[in-house]
Structure 1
């Protein structure tokens, strides 16, 4: 046994399990199984052209050496990114803890109460600091959050504004440059006209529906926006404010000024810069706009016993349900980072946050005063953390970089310096020495921080915040550690059992892949640091792009999109730019199969496309004749086909090459959704099936953990003719020669977590990656075979095989009074998270085991599903008091003095022998979704708020 081979650790089944699994499936070899599963005409003819696989030890040495090429300077660049102190207690207990980073999105609330509480803390922090009424559980970054604010304000225009097609949106010239670029990308396809200008000169015309302001401004100037917002509201212009969250500890909140939406990033609440991400963006608004708000909302409800419980609220407003009528395509949050930011607020509390904000402001004031003494004059009339000085930028830059300091150079004689919580007196004196040397003067030395404030007294925050108990009792490390552990115990993650979600690929997130994220030479670099200071990053990112090109068969990749839905949107915008470059501005029809993921039509709508839905056959495949008819009908205006491969039904459609050829013959491009790429790597690829562009979910196929619902990375890979259109960034140019504007805020998106996928590919190599795909198919077909006779599989390939996932038919159980939800909740009693419920077919379960699960775990899951099938058989439609309808069963239920159920406590909680060895207890009974939506509470409100009117 080659114990240093990473594939041995990543792939679950052992060599001596293989024959048993093949016998169960009914295949002679794994090659026969693959032959019977995958159409032969799309099989790759040669292995992937990748470098030989590294061992874990070799990879960690390699990544350390590569990281040493990064120069970690003291960063005073600002522009929305700041060095932050990650409390060690949060780094060790959350960021580096698989109990937090391997969990799935909390759709199954009963086994996600810990994560949900952590997110409720986050929402409360955002609501109270922003002064708004409701917040979501995070978005992707500040730039895209601002774009979502614009879309929301466009959606909630008054009736007269919609009737008169009012479409102008004012953007203050103080907005961050990367945010402006994202707004430019997102506005045009949906028909919004941006007008950029000085907010002090803005004429409040009736042709505007909204505006966005930066607070403080991009170079630190603090403006009092109360007058602007009041006048805008009078003119039925709704205002969004992009705000620095730490400044809101000291400054009057935008909500108190009358803002309609407040957005920003919580990066400086204990999240490393990571060369751009991932970071949790925040989004807060008024309750009246809740049904137009993007992203996930965590709300308070009750369980079956009437006890307080948490859940994801108002889910019918989400993009996967509203499809092309959705105002957002956002599917991913940044849950892991939101949890960290929320814990930062819990750990420090309101007084701790005030101390940090005061220190940051005092550092800026102290430096400004001392620089004035040197004749280096500060020009901001009011500021929180960023000062602007007049000096010779060329001289200062050379001296600063010699001292390993980075500032932001606005022009040849204007420099911005953004202070942060890591700034010390020593740092301030080094800054003073740098400017003194540039000016040819003796430096001045400071020994203490100034005490006066340098923003208007009228903007001094007077309202209280974070008064709830949770923010005022966990300030010792012991208390925080125990609180984090208390929440962790309420969550089921991959460190407990298999999470077999179809279309979500919950595979091993190996420790060796995760370790580099904590290395300072990777996580402390500003995304706008000079490119030569990020040589390690540049090498790693370029290699990852090349690896993904090899895997997909394409010519170019951008890593900028920071979620799968962003990748979809990026791919469509690149297709749009390609058509426009050829004079085909009219090509705006997107053909989308009925079985497509909900983000597909939502993304197409946001890209300004008209959606035409094509039929699927009874076998679950694309109806080729219907597609042909619609492609020909719309050939003059056809933009693209959006196709998932293997299909969302878990089948490699044999007609895929015919389908892609048909689209090309009618002038369209083929966008392949990469959700199921785990069934392609090393066996086939998007280029081979005839696609032109695909997005990849690095948080699925390429091992970035789901983090409880994020981080995600959704790069797009494109054919050669689309490479020129890959997106750029306004601060550090990226992308193609005729690049579209930014998709997300940072040049390379969430660059830090790209280390994980780079490690995954580098340690598996060509053979390991291909075997991972083969074993994913093996594991899926093993489950299919074991459950045969107990559950019907809804769709299969032409030879009866599943791809890497399958759909179980559960609709006939309604005759017994059992819904698919009852099966999902009952699985919790067996120690498992449910597979994907009612997608893509209502009343079904979609199962994907991935290659990482071993035979023992597969058998435990199958035993649970078979036992549940027997429980279904014993149920009757008339009797609702059964073990399935009452699931899940909590420890509190099992330990009460009375037991009023027609089955035993053992049948409820320990139905199979293996469960007693490692029992996971759901912490609440089944949650009441309707109650939570009727009584929407999404913050740590007092107990009185939980009482139904």
Structure 2
């Protein structure tokens, strides 16, 4: 192995599943023969389908799996667009408070005043951060937040009698948009129009002007965009969208780049969603649980989902769940949303305060620009020299001169104990490496990441194209795995 690697070796255990370790029913698991267990016969069963394994072996099993796992607590995780920042353990501890863990979603409002107060306060803080007028905490993810926002836009125009094939039926998006944007708009019943970016990587105002019309319901925009570039013409964009009577929607995926410095409301947006796992350091993982709160202007407030958490200091109880909202799009999530995740977000905001949130933003931007400046000769990034919290580098020059692709670079980084950046997205950049170091990486870790990238660019192509060499598994069949996923233990056994 080359001298540049940091001695990383991924642990590997040929660890069976718990079902394979099943020791079968044990005498201690059984009721004594003839004993009255007090349960109705139609609610009992002979086999619970749960393996019986010694406690020490279960502990060893999960410890070994943890040793083979890479995460933000293990090392640098510069996965662009995902904001893989450190998750504060203090927030985890607060979310494990017994009063929260043991609360039942069907308890009376009088019995959960503390939780309702916490959620009401969080909504108020998110409203202020967004620079907008009202908030819902219900959506279970950023993508559902998008969908909720598009449903609200639809309800707004339906109320005005402007919804239909000859009126507000289109949503415009730039070609650098997150893939969930067109999906959310289409699911809400809109036709989607995509416009190309300009040579500077930002919205092409001429293309936008051509796309906007009285048929436009909304323009969905991320700012900074997915190239890590701030849309300098955002106020002009807002004016153009509003001039045709449409709404401007803020995709909050990149809010970490402007948090505490400016806001969607200040830029002229009508709606915005938050990705609390990105911006407020709640855990990523495994499809959930998540949260994607939505903020909006007073004009769109009547259409927010129910129930809304209200506060009246003169009433008893002070905080209530209001279901009586005539124009609401209805419930979009059971109960109050994913409370445990929202508690972590509230803790993060309170721990940092407004000044701390702004400092985090500045550090995230500084870290991204530091990495960009150090690698730009080997990995050029389109769209100007100043980036925000992330940037999209290109391995196209390496591919042309040495046959090393973005995928090869990503695989080789694993040998350095560093998670790969996002690859091949956004698709407007050839051989894309989307890099987002976040504010929680130290100078030491950033330098190690940069040094790894630069050493890979100088390495023998054969070493890079055959990587990784120090991981438990080397190159897997990515396409085959995507097309034929094995998702369950039963399925694995059938193979």
With the length of structure 2 as denominator, give the TM-score of the two structures: 0.87
1:779-798 equivalences in 2 (<5 Å): 779-796=367-384
Q: 1:745 aligns with which of 334, 339, 344?
A: 334
Moved more, 515-524 or 551-560: 515-524
Distance 1:557 1:933, change over 3 A: closer
- Is the counterpart of residue 845 in structure 1 residue 394 in structure 2? no
Matched pairs, number: 464
State the Cα distance separating 1:704 from its structure 2 match.
Answer: 0.5
Distance 1:606 1:111, change over 3 A: farther
Quote the Cα distance in structure 2 between the aligned partners of 1:478 and 1:789. 53
2:408 corresponds to: 822
Quote the Cα distance in structure 1 between the aligned partners of 2:139 and 2:12. 30
- Write the deviation string for residues 189-211 of structure 1: whole angstroms up to 9, x where unpaired: xxxxxxxxxxxxxxxxxxxxxxx
1:474-485 equivalences in 2 (<5 Å): 475-485=53-63
- Is the counterpart of residue 599 in structure 1 residue 187 in structure 2? no
- Is the counterpart of residue 540 in structure 1 residue 118 in structure 2? yes
Q: 2:444 aligns with which of 839, 856, 863?
A: 856
State the Cα distance separating 1:724 from its structure 2 match.
Answer: 1.1
2:150 corresponds to: 572
1:883 corresponds to: 463
CA contact (8 A) 1:810 1:843 kept: yes
Distance 1:932 1:805, change over 3 A: closer
- Matched residue SS, 1:642: strand
CA contact (8 A) 1:729 1:745 kept: no
Unaligned runs of 5+ in 2: 1-8, 309-319
- Is the counterpart of residue 928 in structure 1 residue 490 in structure 2? no
- Write the deviation string for residues 77-121 of structure 1: whole angstroms up to 9, x where unpaired: xxxxxxxxxxxxxxxxxxxxxxxxxxxxxxxxx98999xx99xx7
CA contact (8 A) 1:590 1:612 kept: yes
Give the aligned CA root-mean-square deviation in angstroms.
Answer: 2.9
Distance 1:715 1:942, change over 3 A: closer
CA contact (8 A) 2:248 2:270 kept: yes
Distance 1:652 1:887, change over 3 A: same
- Matched residue SS, 2:463: coil
Quote the Cα distance in structure 2 between the aligned partners of 1:569 and 1:824. 32
Distance 1:613 1:351, change over 3 A: farther
1:403 corresponds to: none
- Matched residue SS, 1:720: coil
CA contact (8 A) 1:887 1:925 kept: yes
Distance 1:350 1:584, change over 3 A: farther
- Matched residue SS, 1:639: strand
1:35-114 equivalences in 2 (<5 Å): none
Distance 1:519 1:885, change over 3 A: same
Quote the Cα distance in structure 2 between the aligned partners of 1:590 and 1:495. 40
Distance 1:619 1:852, change over 3 A: same
- Matched residue SS, 2:295: strand
- Matched residue SS, 2:172: strand
1:768 corresponds to: 356
CA contact (8 A) 1:795 1:806 kept: no
State the Cα distance separating 1:675 from its structure 2 match.
Answer: 0.2
CA contact (8 A) 1:695 1:715 kept: yes
Distance 1:807 1:735, change over 3 A: farther
Quote the Cα distance in structure 1 between the aligned partners of 2:262 and 2:324. 26
State the Cα distance separating 1:760 from its structure 2 match.
Answer: 0.8
2:51 corresponds to: 472
Unaligned runs of 5+ in 1: 1-109, 122-342, 359-446, 876-881, 891-921
Distance 1:559 1:451, change over 3 A: closer
CA contact (8 A) 2:122 2:346 kept: yes
Quote the Cα distance in structure 2 between the aligned partners of 1:519 and 1:484. 24
Distance 1:483 1:773, change over 3 A: same
Distance 1:869 1:465, change over 3 A: farther
1:136-155 equivalences in 2 (<5 Å): none
State the Cα distance separating 1:646 from its structure 2 match.
Answer: 0.6
- Which is higher, the Rg of structure 1 or of structure 2? 1
Q: 2:458 aligns with which of 857, 863, 870?
A: 870
- Is the counterpart of residue 589 in structure 1 residue 170 in structure 2? yes
- Is the counterpart of residue 697 in structure 1 residue 312 in structure 2? no
- Is the counterpart of residue 808 in structure 1 residue 386 in structure 2? no
State the Cα distance separating 1:929 from its structure 2 match.
Answer: 2.7
State the Cα distance separating 1:783 from its structure 2 match.
Answer: 0.6
Q: 1:453 aligns with which of 41, 47, 54?
A: 41
State the Cα distance separating 1:709 from its structure 2 match.
Answer: 4.6
- Write the deviation string for residues 665-722 of structure 1: whole angstroms up to 9, x where unpaired: 1010011100000011111110011100011000110110113553321110111111
1:102-501 equivalences in 2 (<5 Å): 449-454=37-42, 472=51, 475-501=53-79
Quote the Cα distance in structure 2 between the aligned partners of 1:488 and 1:600. 34
- Write the deviation string for residues 150-186 of structure 1: whole angstroms up to 9, x where unpaired: xxxxxxxxxxxxxxxxxxxxxxxxxxxxxxxxxxxxx
Quote the Cα distance in structure 2 between the aligned partners of 1:942 and 1:580. 46
CA contact (8 A) 1:724 1:735 kept: no
CA contact (8 A) 1:795 1:807 kept: no
Distance 1:346 1:561, change over 3 A: farther
Quote the Cα distance in structure 2 between the aligned partners of 1:803 and 1:763. 24
Distance 1:934 1:855, change over 3 A: closer
1:608 corresponds to: 189
State the Cα distance separating 1:472 from its structure 2 match.
Answer: 3.4
Quote the Cα distance in structure 1 between the aligned partners of 2:299 and 2:228. 30
Q: 1:723 aligns with which of 291, 294, 301?
A: 301
- Matched residue SS, 2:473: coil
